[in-house]
Amino acid sequence: MRTYANISSRCRGVACLVAVVLSAMPVIADAGEAPRLETLEATRQRPLFSISRRPPAPETTPRTVEAPPQPPDLVLNAVVVGSDLQVAWLKRGKEAKPIAVTMGSDIDGWAVTAISPRQVVLDNNIQSIKLEFPKRTNATAARQTGR
């Protein structure tokens, strides 16, 4: 005779069996479209499980080289060099008033690193420039001497 407990026990057993069978079945999911063969060129050239496989060469991006800053538009106007004093006067472009500079002075990001009787050296940690007195031509020399 089948009793309620007996039927209930069998139903639970069948339910467990169905659950085990369903959990063992593979889950099928929609993977979408397969990639086009043209996009797998790198995979064909460098197979995944090949002993000779190496990482791809790093991409080289062209580096832009910045041009060095333009030297300031300065002209050496006068220099005074003594035992304890070194001063130079520089004219900026067409400005009428000269600028007095000493060792270590800063002009537009350029530091005065040397002052000698005929030149001034400016440095901006990238390049150095020498400001010298303009070369005298024969006509200039004749005018200054009165000949």
- 76-131 residue pLDDT tens: 999 999 888 899 999 987 877 999 999 999 988 899 999 999 999 999 988 999 99
Mean pLDDT to the nearest integer, 32-40: 82
- Bridge-partner residues for 88, per DSSP? 79, 101
Res 147 pLDDT > 90: no
55 within some domain: no
CATH number of domain containing 131: 2.30.30.830
9 within some domain: no
CA distance 69 to 85: 30
111 within some domain: yes
Q: Which two tokens stand for residue 94?
A: 């067409």
The Cα-based distances of 11 to 6, 16, 20, 25, 63 in angstroms read 9, 9, 14, 21, 75
121 within some domain: yes
pLDDT for position 68? 73
16 within some domain: no
Total count of domains within the chain: 1
Helix, strand, coil share of the chain (percent; to 5): 25, 25, 50
91 within some domain: yes
pLDDT for position 128? 92
Residues 6+ apart with CB under 8 A from 67: none
Q: Which two tokens stand for residue 90?
A: 């520089």
56 within some domain: no
CA distance 65 to 57: 23
Reported pTM: 0.49
